[in-house]
A and B are shown apart, each in its own frame.
Chain A
Amino acid sequence: MNPGLEYRLRTTRRHLLRTAGLGLGSMALQALLADDDPVIASGQHASASRLQPRAKSVIYLHMAGSPSQLELFEHKPKLQQLHLQDCPSSLLEGRRFAFIRGVPKILAGQFRFAQHGESGQWISELLPNFAGVSDRACIIRTMHTEEFNHAPSQLYLHTGNARVGSPAIGSWVTWGLGSLNQNLPGFVVLLSGGKTPDAGKSLWGTGYLPSVYQGVNCRTDGDPVLFLSDPQGISRGVRRRMLDALEELNAAELQRSGDPETGTRMQQYELAYRMQMTVPEVMDLTREPKHILEMYGAQPGYQSPAETAADPRVLYRGDDPTFANNCLLARRLVESGVRFVQLYDWGWDHHGSSPGESIDETLPIKCRASDRAIAALIRDLEQRGLLDETLIVWGGEFGRTPMMQNNVRSELRKGFIGRDHHPDAFTMWLAGGGIRGGLAWGRTDEFGYEAVENPTSVRDLQATILHTLGLDPHRFSYLYQGLQNRLIGPTDEGQVLREILA
């Protein structure tokens, strides 16, 4: 073994150089520097995209299917007045809906609202726990998006492009900032609700970024990371001996070939070995004390029947701890240095046309199964001093119409009250890292149909998330196919929401 040679050759970045070839543009430099040591990366990015970060990590809670803002955050007495009357034609002209045809009826908000906290935010009775921490959150009531079908809208929100093939925001962030813990993936995805979100794995794909930055779906059933467990009959001791022998063989090859990739591969086997220890530890909720488990409503090891059902929606229960487990895992992951934790909870698409997808019955169940855990997550991060450096994002991919969906029936029936997709106004909230708590941002009209004050685009949201992490959304880009690709797209319509920053 030639330690001098090995040292000089050891790097994980050589493949990036290769991809750039002789036409060394900024891509090679930026890729070379960006994903390794955050300190160096920041030094090199300073001229291009680095700002003072307000948050170090992100926990993004995506309610796939899109919860109704009119039952959770948007208190609209006008809807009560017009309940079950024909929708005014002004709301229908020139609109495309996913399912509504003809003239639908207005549907009143189905739950009671009250003002909460010092900030007096309007929050519905379905979210009693969140109401208790609403002073920590900035509720944006005027989100709007470009897409009104689930898959394209989820892609647009998470990758900046309604079509597949662009990197997820989590990939962008880990590419830009690197990982804080070499023994864990930088971008972790946790799923619940029994289905993968509509747009599937593309939501955590790397697109044109190197595939190392892909989100790793950590599972609570089976191996937390695919292929993590040693097979039956291979103990840790056997594995260690095997890797020692392998290292000797590989060292001989490194000696012969002189190829730094061989050195990198040797390191990756060691890292894999460490991950086999670290990941199960982090994913092991039994290490949490009882009072924390109770705070979230978590139950280690619980396997929900909904998670494997063909149609999970009819099996949802308010006391199902799966989502709570994921919230607690998110805290543990962030605490251990994971940069971006993405939760997807499926089952929020409440059209009211099939069993298990209604505003009146399913939405309260989904709220009960998540409200306590989300409030606990905020409180728990706060008590550990992590809330200031962790950005929490909550929301769906679009909103829902103030009209009831009438493609199946136009009168109310228990368990079948629903609303259609609505891209023009919906609610999301941000909390923690650099966000002004207790703020209600933006105002919609009396139907909750369109923004009348401070409309906020998905691009704005994306720009703001990057900004809080210290990445300049307008300069943070990756050269691919001749274009400087950015999360916020080619135009500059997306702007950082400076007013909501602390």
Chain B
Amino acid sequence: MQKQTVRGFLLLLIGVIQMRAGADEQVRFDRDVLPILSARCFACHGPDAEQRQADLRLDQEQDIHREHTEGIPVVAGNPDSSVLLRRVGATDPDLLMPPPESGPSLTAAEQHTLRLWIEQGAEWGLHWSFRPQVRPDVASGGAAAIDELVGRQLAARSLQLSGPADPYRKVRRLYLDLIGLPPTPEQADAFAADPSPERWEQLVETLLQQPQFGEHWARMWMDLARYADTKGYEKDRGRTMWPWRDWLIGQLNADRPLDELTQELLAGDLLPNATMDQRLATAFHRNTMSNDEGGTDNEEFRTLAVKDRVDLTLQVWMGLTAGCAKCHSHKYDPLSQQEYYGLYAIFNQTADADRPDDAPLLDVQGADEQEQEEQLQKSVTALRRQLRQLQRQPDPAESERWQVPIPVHSEAGGDAVCTVDASGVISVSGPSPAENDYTIRLPLAAGVLSGIRIQALVPDEAGNPGVGRNPEDPNFVLSELELSIAGSDKSFQPLRIARATADFSQQGWPVTAAFDGDLKSGWAISPRQSEMHTAVFVLSDPVQIAGNSTLQLVMRQRYGRSLTMRQFRISVTAAAATEIEGDVISPAVQNVQSELADAELKLKQFRTGLPRVPVMEELPAEKRRETRLHHRGNFLDPGDSVQAGFPQAFAAIAAADMGSPGRLDLANWLMSDLNPLTSRVWVNRIWSRVMGQGIVATEEDFGALGALPSNPELLELLAVEYRENGWSLRGLLKSICLSNVYQQDSAVTAALLQADPENVLYARASRYRLSAEAVRDQLLAVSGLLSSRQGGPPVMPPQPPGLWRSTYNSENWVNAEGADRYRRSLYTYLKRTTPFPALTTFDSGSGEYCLIRRIRTNTPLQALVLLNDQTALEAAGALALRMMQQPTQQRLEWGMRQALIRPIAAAEAEPLQRLARELRAEYGADPESATALLSSARVEPAEATDIPELAAMIVVAGTILNQDEFLTRN
């Protein structure tokens, strides 16, 4: 049976091949001849000088007509004299080309093509994709032109477009293609009520404006960018890349033109006055893997990352495979090894170097974060100010205990100036000697003196002044405090200090050191230089003061470096020691201080919590690297020095002499109007995403060995319009989606299958399984579980336990609860060595390398995911609960409708009716299983729910969510 199947397909294949060859007897060089020469001859007779045999080149026009040892390879108009034809058709194995050991001989058809080509004059030309773009001859533009060009091809084969798809399928298709999520049945109804072309256009425009649009299309970019949340290789540690992903979503939602995006992705840091977003954009090329394995050479992996950037850039923008030119000149496309390293040199000047810290990093703040930080900063500033003001005022609660005499004398050493204000605050200004002794004299009224207090103040000024006079380090060191008192006789008698307390003392600099008789020790307050500080000194014995006495304080500050007080206030007291020792800080001040400490902590945590993303940064001029060619791609085997530059084959693009081009020049070169490839490659990619396959089937290869465009004029039209319309993705998608080609029915009739199994002619809409992300997102959406939250750090929805076992990595997967369990799939944490299995089973990538297109497989493992994965099960549970809320008679059709969107005929639900009936009975007889199922699906039934009925409904809902139609873009 399988043999027959395969044979059937062979026949179909041959049909396709014949269809092409028979269509046009006029041989075209690029379409018909060049592919043969490049695949069969260029390996030994092509651009690669090292591999070249017999000094013969067949990749350049002048060489094929040149006399060679055995004659002239190609004599235009004369096949029989052309040595090329003789050798490829030789019967003697010694003469046969290509040599039998190096590959199969040319088929009869291929030989015939070469013969026709020579007969017809051996016209030579550029490979098709290297030619300048020319707008095809078509009267209209946009959607109408697409219809016309597809229609021409169909008409030539007596085919026509299929009829329009029914409105419900069409609307579901459009939602899935543009935003990656299905419509609700109500949204579909709204369109189906008036499926006019005007409404369709409205709908297209509405969807292009949805925030989910950016999420859906970001996924394509993430594949191209080899996005992941870890660094790859052995250790595969986490890496913060999600701010770049969020940036990307924002750009797509703003429909940023591709040329601007390209500049920012490749060289945002080099743009004048680069914004944070533009620098963040360059994280694109920091998605390269880095190796933290012990014993690796960072330079080896740095050079690998640079090569990866070259390869990816050429491939994503120009559809060229450069990889092989690392080791030798390209055998098929015009890219020499020298030229490869010319491109390499452009990327070789960034500061990143496979370092374990991933430097350089950018602290990323979005607008929200900026505002948040400003708020936090504001409250810190306000509290500081409040504290300063509070501290400057004498505390009224203390006024009974503490008096502030106005000094009669104040003096500082050097030429420093002391001033005293009306409230008794002493300020020191002017010159600031390294050491300084202050002498203060205070008048005392008659009474008792039991202690004094010094309050070092912070001036209420802008900026962040401290308590000390050295702006670099506004600390102070009070080395010694000497107190003495004089009565009316003016002779000062020393007073002894017994104890002291302070609100704060620096470690190793206690306040008690200020009266230990040692000038080397003292009281200091680092690291809290920006706050007021208070010390209370208690006298050994309270002194009886007669009237007109003077208290003298000598504050010796001998540490050096101007660590002296700026402003202070001195108070005196008669109260008992036990009362005053606590007066170093008032409760009001304490409150504000603790508020301030909280606010400062929050600000600090906020700042350290900011995502730090690896970005590109150009090395300064003196650190620029010399680029040398790597022999055989080995970085330890450097060859000649290479200058930055672009491949010669595209010399026309770089019209002006760019000197030594950099990344920004590269971006401009890629997006130049004269670049023949970029626009073609991109429209083909976008077309493929909504039409099922590319016009050029090999999306990844537009070079000599790639496939030819199935409809060259269509490709040209799209390419020219994309460029002329300002590289707008929305504009391009709108043209495609408004075309009748897009809106056709997708039914595959036997006749269509016969005529065009691959649907290359687009005589029907393509029908294919949704992408991995869309499969999962759709499950969540139709069951009502999907969280609409956008952006933020990656999430960990449930996956089977025990998967993360990679070497040395202690990071754990913890299944998310709440909304993060049900976020869109693009937010799922992607660990390169252990990607999320429910997605990779549906062909999503690991982020290890650039994924140009995904192959669509259809495997039993996919069935297992949709039957048994926890997310699928919870989706079935959630849908079942909602079905149970519907009137009994309508439940099943309602459930099917949620998934398939279109109206469901009663007969369609019959298999489910039977299933529900049987399972209701089965679970009724086995209530334990019913309860177990509810619990595995995390379904919590309301009171008085018929549990067996609900269990049966979960299985029914699961059946609905496994339907082929549900998984398919139709």
* Interface residues, chain A, with chain B CB atoms under 8 Å away: 5, 8-15, 17-25, 28-29, 32-33, 36-37, 39-40, 47-48, 96-99, 148-151, 163-165, 191, 194-202, 205, 210-212, 216, 219, 221-223, 225-235, 237-239, 241-242, 244-246, 248-250, 252-254, 256-262, 264-266, 268-269, 271-272, 275-276, 308, 310, 346, 421, 479-483, 490
- Which of A191, A205, A248, A272 sits near B864, CB closer than 8 Å? A272
Could you tell me if A98 and B16 are in contact, using CB atoms closer than 8 angstroms? no
Could you tell me if B860 and A483 are in contact, using CB atoms closer than 8 angstroms? no
Chain B residue nearest to A17 in the complex (CB):
B758
- Which of B800, B932, B964 sits near A233, CB closer than 8 Å? B932
Residues of B within 8 A of A20 (CB): 697, 707, 758
* Total inter-chain residue pairs, C-beta < 8 Å: 315
Could you tell me if A23 and B802 are in contact, using CB atoms closer than 8 angstroms? no
Could you tell me if B806 and A15 are in contact, using CB atoms closer than 8 angstroms? no
Could you tell me if B802 and A308 are in contact, using CB atoms closer than 8 angstroms? yes
A341 vs B805: C-alpha distance when bound (angstroms): 20
Q: How far is the CB of A178 from chain B (nearest CB, A)?
A: 10
- Which of A13, A163, A221, A231 sits near B936, CB closer than 8 Å? A231
A8 vs B9: C-alpha distance when bound (angstroms): 9
Which residues 921-970 in B have Cβ within 8 Å of A in the complex? 922, 926, 929-937, 951, 955-956, 958-959, 962-965, 967-968, 970
Question: Which 9 residue pairs of A and B lie closest in terms of their CB atoms, listed nearest first?
Answer: A21-B697, A233-B933, A23-B707, A98-B295, A200-B833, A482-B705, A233-B932, A272-B863, A248-B911
Chain B residue nearest to A97 in the complex (CB):
B295
A358 vs B500: C-alpha distance when bound (angstroms): 61
Residues of A within 8 A of B760 (CB): 21-22
Take A265-B964, A271-B860 as given contacts and tell me if A195 and B807 are in contact as well, using a CB distance cutoff of 8 Å.
Answer: yes
A239 vs B892: C-alpha distance when bound (angstroms): 18
Could you tell me if A237 and B922 are in contact, using CB atoms closer than 8 angstroms? yes
Chain A residue nearest to B2 in the complex (CB):
A37
Take A196-B805, A249-B911 as given contacts and tell me if A234 and B860 are in contact as well, using a CB distance cutoff of 8 Å.
Answer: no
Q: How far is the CB of A234 from chain B (nearest CB, A)?
A: 6
A selection of 29 A-B contacts at a CB cut-off of 8 Å is A20-B697, A21-B696, A21-B760, A24-B13, A29-B13, A99-B295, A151-B234, A165-B849, A195-B805, A196-B834, A200-B236, A200-B807, A211-B840, A211-B857, A212-B857, A212-B859, A228-B868, A232-B936, A233-B929, A238-B955, A250-B964, A257-B767, A258-B747, A260-B748, A269-B863, A271-B860, A308-B802, A480-B700, A482-B333
A165 vs B304: C-alpha distance when bound (angstroms): 14
A17 vs B757: C-alpha distance when bound (angstroms): 9
A229 vs B312: C-alpha distance when bound (angstroms): 40
Could you tell me if B915 and A257 are in contact, using CB atoms closer than 8 angstroms? no
Residues of B within 8 A of A226 (CB): 800, 837, 841, 861, 864
B233 interfacial contact with A, CB 8 Å: yes
Chain B window 826-855, contacts with chain A (Cβ cutoff 8 Å), 1 for yes, 0 for no: 000000111101101101001011000001
Could you tell me if A163 and B304 are in contact, using CB atoms closer than 8 angstroms? yes
Chain A residue nearest to B7 in the complex (CB):
A40
Q: How far is the CB of A158 from chain B (nearest CB, A)?
A: 14
Chain B window 794-813, contacts with chain A (Cβ cutoff 8 Å), 1 for yes, 0 for no: 00000011100111101000
Take A165-B849, A200-B834, A250-B964 as given contacts and tell me if A150 and B293 are in contact as well, using a CB distance cutoff of 8 Å.
Answer: yes
A226 vs B868: C-alpha distance when bound (angstroms): 9
Residues of B within 8 A of A241 (CB): 915, 918-919
Residues of B within 8 A of A163 (CB): 304, 849
A13 vs B748: C-alpha distance when bound (angstroms): 17
Could you tell me if A261 and B323 are in contact, using CB atoms closer than 8 angstroms? no
- Which of B324, B332, B707, B840 sits near A22, CB closer than 8 Å? B707
Residues of B within 8 A of A28 (CB): 13
Residues of A within 8 A of B710 (CB): 21-22
Could you tell me if B849 and A23 are in contact, using CB atoms closer than 8 angstroms? no
A226 vs B855: C-alpha distance when bound (angstroms): 21
A223 vs B698: C-alpha distance when bound (angstroms): 38
* Interface residues, chain B, with chain A CB atoms under 8 Å away: 2-3, 5-6, 8-10, 13, 16-17, 20, 39, 104, 232-234, 236, 289, 291, 293-297, 304, 315, 321, 323-324, 327, 332-333, 636, 692-694, 696-698, 700-701, 703-708, 710, 746-750, 753, 757-758, 760, 767-769, 800-802, 805-808, 810, 832-835, 837-838, 840-841, 843, 846, 848-849, 855-865, 867-869, 873, 908, 911-912, 914-915, 918-919, 922, 926, 929-937, 951, 955-956, 958-959, 962-965, 967-968, 970
Q: How far is the CB of B771 from chain A (nearest CB, A)?
A: 13
Q: How far is the CB of A348 from chain B (nearest CB, A)?
A: 12
A225 vs B859: C-alpha distance when bound (angstroms): 14
Could you tell me if B914 and A265 are in contact, using CB atoms closer than 8 angstroms? no
A259 vs B962: C-alpha distance when bound (angstroms): 17
Could you tell me if A36 and B2 are in contact, using CB atoms closer than 8 angstroms? yes
- Which of B835, B922, B970 sits near A238, CB closer than 8 Å? B922
Could you tell me if B936 and A233 are in contact, using CB atoms closer than 8 angstroms? yes
A246 vs B961: C-alpha distance when bound (angstroms): 10
Chain A residue nearest to B634 in the complex (CB):
A146
Take A202-B846, A231-B868, A250-B964 as given contacts and tell me if A242 and B698 are in contact as well, using a CB distance cutoff of 8 Å.
Answer: no
- Which of A14, A33, A195, A232 sits near B935, CB closer than 8 Å? A232
A36 vs B2: C-alpha distance when bound (angstroms): 8
Residues of B within 8 A of A165 (CB): 848-849
- Which of B13, B104, B806 sits near A200, CB closer than 8 Å? B806
Chain B residue nearest to A475 in the complex (CB):
B103
Take A9-B753, A238-B919, A481-B700 as given contacts and tell me if A246 and B962 are in contact as well, using a CB distance cutoff of 8 Å.
Answer: yes
Could you tell me if A98 and B863 are in contact, using CB atoms closer than 8 angstroms? no
A212 vs B859: C-alpha distance when bound (angstroms): 7
Chain B residue nearest to A64 in the complex (CB):
B807
A233 vs B958: C-alpha distance when bound (angstroms): 13
A226 vs B870: C-alpha distance when bound (angstroms): 11
Q: How far is the CB of B784 from chain A (nearest CB, A)?
A: 20
Residues of A within 8 A of B860 (CB): 268-269, 271-272, 275
Could you tell me if A19 and B855 are in contact, using CB atoms closer than 8 angstroms? yes
Q: How far is the CB of A26 from chain B (nearest CB, A)?
A: 9
Take A5-B750, A249-B959 as given contacts and tell me if A234 and B864 are in contact as well, using a CB distance cutoff of 8 Å.
Answer: no
Could you tell me if B908 and A252 are in contact, using CB atoms closer than 8 angstroms? yes
A482 vs B323: C-alpha distance when bound (angstroms): 10
Chain B residue nearest to A308 in the complex (CB):
B802
Residues of B within 8 A of A198 (CB): 233-234, 293, 807
Could you tell me if A200 and B914 are in contact, using CB atoms closer than 8 angstroms? no
Take A37-B6, A210-B857 as given contacts and tell me if A22 and B20 are in contact as well, using a CB distance cutoff of 8 Å.
Answer: yes
Could you tell me if A23 and B753 are in contact, using CB atoms closer than 8 angstroms? no
Q: How far is the CB of B3 from chain A (nearest CB, A)?
A: 6
A10 vs B935: C-alpha distance when bound (angstroms): 38
Take A99-B294, A237-B922 as given contacts and tell me if A256 and B747 are in contact as well, using a CB distance cutoff of 8 Å.
Answer: yes
- Which of A37, A246, A258 sits near B959, CB closer than 8 Å? A246
Most buried by B among A233, A235, A346: A233
Most buried by A among B16, B233, B933: B233
Residues of A within 8 A of B835 (CB): 201
Chain A residue nearest to B844 in the complex (CB):
A211
A26 vs B554: C-alpha distance when bound (angstroms): 99
Take A238-B955, A481-B700 as given contacts and tell me if A151 and B291 are in contact as well, using a CB distance cutoff of 8 Å.
Answer: yes
Residues of A within 8 A of B703 (CB): 482
Residues of B within 8 A of A231 (CB): 868, 873, 933, 936-937
Q: How far is the CB of A189 from chain B (nearest CB, A)?
A: 13
Residues of B within 8 A of A23 (CB): 697-698, 706-708
Take A22-B710, A150-B293 as given contacts and tell me if A227 and B858 are in contact as well, using a CB distance cutoff of 8 Å.
Answer: no
Chain B residue nearest to A269 in the complex (CB):
B863
Residues of B within 8 A of A272 (CB): 860-861, 863-864, 867
Chain A residue nearest to B873 in the complex (CB):
A231
- Which of B16, B693, B868, B873 sits near A24, CB closer than 8 Å? B16
Could you tell me if B6 and A242 are in contact, using CB atoms closer than 8 angstroms? no
A485 vs B113: C-alpha distance when bound (angstroms): 27
Could you tell me if B963 and A246 are in contact, using CB atoms closer than 8 angstroms? yes
Chain A residue nearest to B39 in the complex (CB):
A25
Could you tell me if B747 and A15 are in contact, using CB atoms closer than 8 angstroms? no
Residues of A within 8 A of B749 (CB): 258
